[in-house]
Amino acid sequence: MTSTVAQAQPVSPVRTYQVRTYGCQMNVHDSERLAGLLEIAGYRRAADGADADVVVFNTCAVRENADNKLYGNLSHLAPRKQSDPGMQIAVGGCLAQKDRDAVLKKAPYVDVVFGTHNIGSLPALLERARHNREAQVEIVDALEQFPSTLPAARDSAYAAWVSISVGCNNTCTFCIVPALRGKEVDRRPGDILAEVQALVDQGVLEVTLLGQNVNAYGVSFVDPETPRDRGAFAALLRACGGIDGLERVRFTSPHPAEFTDDVIEAMAATPNICPTLHMPLQSGSDRILKAMRRSYRAQRYLGIIDRVRAAMPHAAITTDLIVGFPGETEEDFQATLDVVEQSRFATAFTFQYSRRPGTPAAELADQVPKAVVQQRYDRLIELQERISWEENRAQVGTTVELLVAAGEGRKDAHTARMSGRARDGRLVHFTPGASPVRPGDVVTCVVTSAAPHHLIADGALLSHRRTRAGDAHEAGIKPKTVGLGLPGLGVPAPQASVSGCSL
């Protein structure tokens, strides 16, 4: 250990870091873990706009443009790396897991490549690369440590991600995630609730439960002695309702094939479960759903939506849609438009099919021409924009409770508004007036107008509640979580026997 007393040795400056994230919420949360690991190792987050000593790319491999974006951004750092050899670049996440050694072939100036299963290795790999003066590539094919056992430097004082599982057991033909994230492994409920409680104790008001397929939770617990429990997810939602101070609970993403009525009942009966549901549809054509290996059909999907709305009439339902899957005909696409029309989604995340090497769909015949995909995509966007605007206009005149957010409204400075999320997830831009409202506070207001992607509340606030989360945001304090005593994977190491009295 280096002495802090000796004055003859110069003190090394603290190295700074920056994590750049691509992709889904799982990656966003993994980046919080990477930041936590680096801070525990003595690094400090670089100031906004400042050059960092270590730049970490946490990558996505779901779509082709993710590859292009990564290598383009890496090339922008090449001149700086050449002028400052002490600066380090690390590439992790799904694309690193997929490409492995190819990352160094395309960007030989990268110092560290690590995968989805060993994010805890990053600090050691950086140190090894610096010491050995050569790139370090470490990709493992199975999860070494459940990510939630790692420290996390959270991005928000008021809202937090909580992983309930990693991996996926589905075999959707368009998706490469199972090959990169592995089979589903679930955390024990007590471990999840302990993490939620720790966050609430630090002022967090809202948590989002994360999993590749959250409603399959209970299929494969970390503890092999814990049997499968098909009702585990509904029970977890109800248990979240018993955590004092936890005001909002969201989850993403469920799979329609495993969406059960006990989850709907738990959502409706538990006051802090938000009336919102993100449930990927992907296609409204039964033929295409079969080709995608999505083990449900359009009528089952619509039936779930009907039951959700019967239990929670004002629930906002959102979805994912893919246009141009191989073999999609005009009739298939029309079926998607029909289901979208019937579903009345609050919003939809729409994607043009991206051919990913290593997925079964990449080898299918009848790849749809790009021009046809674009034309269909534009028609789908036009339909969903109309529906979103109609659904949002129906909110005008309603009273909404907002958790005030930072960075949600790009034009807030120009309009003198602030922004927040309603309980159903809708984005609302509101006028705070003379009230010193802070991100993390809770306000209520009346919706005065609407646009396809947001609501506006320009009247006086009906109420404003200052919160501990607002205090923390104002003070620049963000919650941190550490291992919380959560288990690693595999058989625990044997403990030495202790005789007599031990403190």
Q: Does residue 498 sit within a domain?
A: no
Q: Rounded distance, CA 150 to CA 120, Å?
A: 7
Tokens 């873990």 appear where? 33
pLDDT digits 0-9 by tens, 369-404: 999 999 999 999 999 999 999 999 999 999 999 999
Task: Identify the domain containing residue 34 by its residue range.
Answer: 16-138
Residues 91 and 133 in one domain: yes
Residues 300 and 343 in one domain: yes
Query: What is residue 467's predicted lDDT score, i.e. its pLDDT?
Result: 98
The token pair at 227 is: 């049997």
Q: Does residue 6 sit within a domain?
A: no
pLDDT digits 0-9 by tens, 354-369: 888 889 999 998 999 9
Pairing verdict, β 442-446 and 463-465:
antiparallel
Q: Does residue 494 sit within a domain?
A: no
Q: How confident is the model at residue 182 (pLDDT cuts 50, 70, 90)?
A: confident
Q: How confident is the model at residue 486 (pLDDT cuts 50, 70, 90)?
A: very low
Query: What is residue 483's predicted lDDT score, i.e. its pLDDT?
Result: 59
Q: What is the DSSP letter of 242?
A: T
Residues 385 and 451 in one domain: no
Among 394, 426, 454, the domain boundary falls at 394
Residues 346 and 434 in one domain: no
Q: What is the mean pLDDT of the chain?
A: 90
Report, as an integer, the average pLDDT of 51-60: 94
Return the closest-CA partner of residue 482 out of 108, 186, 202. Answer: 202
Residues 308 and 451 in one domain: no
Q: Does residue 43 sit within a domain?
A: yes
Q: Rounded distance, CA 304 to CA 260, Å?
A: 8
Residues 374 and 417 in one domain: no
pLDDT digits 0-9 by tens, 203-255: 999 999 999 899 999 988 766 677 778 899 999 999 999 999 999 999 999 99
Query: What is residue 7's predicted lDDT score, i.e. its pLDDT?
Result: 46
Tokens 């538990």 appear where? 270
Q: How confident is the model at residue 434 (pLDDT cuts 50, 70, 90)?
A: confident
Among 138, 158, 189, the domain boundary falls at 138
Total domains, the chain: 3
Residues 431 and 352 in one domain: no
Query: What percentage of the chain has pLDDT greater than the value 70?
Result: 92
CATH of the domain at 469: 2.40.50
Count of other CB atoms within 10 angstroms of residue 363: 12
Note the residue count of the chain. 503
Q: How confident is the model at residue 480 (pLDDT cuts 50, 70, 90)?
A: confident
CATH of the domain at 243: 3.80.30.20
Q: Rounded distance, CA 332 to CA 24, Å?
A: 27
Q: Rounded distance, CA 194 to CA 325, Å?
A: 42
Residue 429: pLDDT over 80: yes
Residues 181 and 90 in one domain: no
The token pair at 168 is: 């996926």
The token pair at 135 is: 């790139």
Q: How confident is the model at residue 12 (pLDDT cuts 50, 70, 90)?
A: low
Q: Does residue 365 sit within a domain?
A: yes
Q: Does residue 491 sit within a domain?
A: no
Residue 487: pLDDT over 70: no
CATH of the domain at 81: 3.40.50.12160
Q: Rounded distance, CA 154 to CA 208, Å?
A: 13
Query: What is residue 228's predicted lDDT score, i.e. its pLDDT?
Result: 75
The token pair at 404 is: 């005030």
Q: Does residue 244 sit within a domain?
A: yes
Question: At what angle are helices 330-343 and 298-311 packed, to 10 degrees?
Answer: 10
Query: What percentage of the chain has pLDDT greater than the value 90?
Result: 72
Return the closest-CA partner of residue 278 out of 291, 292, 259. Answer: 259
Residues 36 and 131 in one domain: yes
Query: What is residue 61's predicted lDDT score, i.e. its pLDDT?
Result: 83
Q: Is 94 annotated as a binding residue?
A: yes
Residue 478 φ then ψ, to 5°: -115, 145
Return the closest-CA partner of residue 231 out of 258, 195, 211. Answer: 258
Residue 10: pLDDT over 80: no
Contact 44, 17 (CB under 8 A): yes
Residue 415 identity (one-letter amino acid): T
Residues 130 and 249 in one domain: no
Alpha-carbon dihedral sign for residues 62, 63, 67, 69: negative
Query: What is residue 495's predicted lDDT score, i.e. its pLDDT?
Result: 36
In the chain the first and final C-alpha atoms are separated, in Å, by 26
> Which helix (DSSP H) or strand (DSSP E) does residue 126 occupy?
helix 122-132
Residues 161 and 212 in one domain: yes
Q: Rounded distance, CA 372 to CA 201, Å?
A: 52
Q: What is the DSSP letter of 86?
A: T
Instruction: Mention every residue, 6+ apart, whose C-beta is less than 8 A from residue 332.
Output: 283, 285, 287, 288
Query: What is residue 502's predicted lDDT score, i.e. its pLDDT?
Result: 32
Which one is predicted more confidently, 435 or 490? 435
Among 394, 411, 433, the domain boundary falls at 394
Q: Is 240 annotated as a binding residue?
A: no
Which one is predicted more confidently, 435 or 339? 339
Q: Is 501 annotated as a binding residue?
A: no
Query: What is residue 279's predicted lDDT score, i.e. its pLDDT?
Result: 96
Residue 11: pLDDT over 60: no
Q: Is 60 annotated as a binding residue?
A: yes
Residues 386 and 411 in one domain: no
Q: Does residue 342 sit within a domain?
A: yes
Report, as an integer, the average pLDDT of 77-102: 92
Contact 458, 448 (CB under 8 A): yes
Highest mean pLDDT among 115-124, 147-156, 245-254: 245-254
Contact 67, 61 (CB under 8 A): yes
Query: What is residue 413's predicted lDDT score, i.e. its pLDDT?
Result: 82
Instruction: Mention every residue, 6+ apart, whose C-beta is less than 8 A from residue 267.
Output: 237, 273, 275, 277, 308, 311, 312
Residue 68: pLDDT over 60: yes
**Nearest 10 degrees: Cα torsion 305, 308, 312, 314:** -20
pLDDT digits 0-9 by tens, 17-37: 999 998 888 889 999 999 999
Query: What is residue 13's predicted lDDT score, i.e. its pLDDT?
Result: 78
